[in-house]
Amino acid sequence: MTIKPIIIIPDPLLRQVSKPVERVDSDLTHLIDDMLDTMYDAPGIGLAAVQVAVPRRLLVIDVSKEGEDKQPLVFINPEIIRSSEDRSVYEEGCLSIPDYYAEVERPATVTVKHLDRLGKEQLTEADGLLATCLQHEIDHLNGVLFIDHISRLKREMVIKKFSKAAKSKVTV
């Protein structure tokens, strides 16, 4: 088990489009396990591979409640094949934008085609928090962050704050 460092804005890797996973082999299974460890340690309810500096189309999610059994979900090469007309609003946060939260409106229900951790094709229909989290993570695979869905003024304030902080970090 390895907890990997999570990259934060303004790291340019977060704006890169991740490449498809080509094979589901033991290296990939190892990466999935490290991502789950990293997500639970953070703690977060989702993590895209690019957040641990691996720009591949892979993400993990667990939206189970505290005290309940863990429900780790793995999505490889996910594609949204249907989005509902009705929308829902959640207050979102992101491990790559620490301590910033904002409401985002997204389709309330999505159907996602993907591979599971055995490399088998699956269809997942999601609503509620899972639908929101899936869309947030799939955005990461396309270099999109939740702050891209809020007002430009708010987004620029957040980016400015993190850019300033990055510049003042001492590099040895």
Chain residues binding ligand GNR by CB under 6 A are 44-48, 51, 90, 92-96, 132-133, 136-137, 140
Could you say which of 39, 74, 94, 130 contacts Ni ion (CB under 5 A)? 94
State the number of binding residues for Ni ion (CB under 5 A). 1
Question: With CB under 5 A as the contact rule, which of the stretches 11-19, 29-37, 71-79, 87-95 interacts with Ni ion?
Answer: 87-95
Residue with Cβ nearer ligand GNR (34 or 92): 92
3-state secondary structure of 152: helix
Residue with Cβ nearer ligand GNR (77 or 140): 140
25/129 Cα distance (integer angstroms): 30
CB 125 within 8 A of CB 131: no
What are phi and psi for residue 126, nearest 5 degrees? -125, 145
Supply the minimum distance, in Å, between the C-beta of residue 57 and ligand GNR.
14
What are phi and psi for residue 38, nearest 5 degrees? -65, -45
156 is an active site residue: no
**Angle ∠(14,35,77) on CA atoms, nearest 5:** 65
Given Ni ion, ligand GNR, none, residue 75, with its beta carbon under 5 to 8 Å by kind, binds none
Question: With CB under 5 A as the contact rule, which of the stretches 21-29, 52-60, 75-83, 89-97 interacts with Ni ion?
Answer: 89-97
Burial 47-76 (b: 16+ CB within 10 A, else e): bbbbbbebbbbbbbbbbeeeeeeeeebbbb
What are phi and psi for residue 105, nearest 5 degrees? -100, 130
Residue with Cβ nearer Ni ion (94 or 104): 94
Residue with Cβ nearer Ni ion (9 or 94): 94
Supply the minimum distance, in Å, between the C-beta of residue 46 and Ni ion.
7
* Per-residue tokens: 25: 């082999």
Which residues from 118-157 bind Ni ion, rule CB under 5 A?
A: none
Instruction: Enumerate the active-site residues.
Output: 137
Residues near Ni ion (CB under 5 A) are: 94
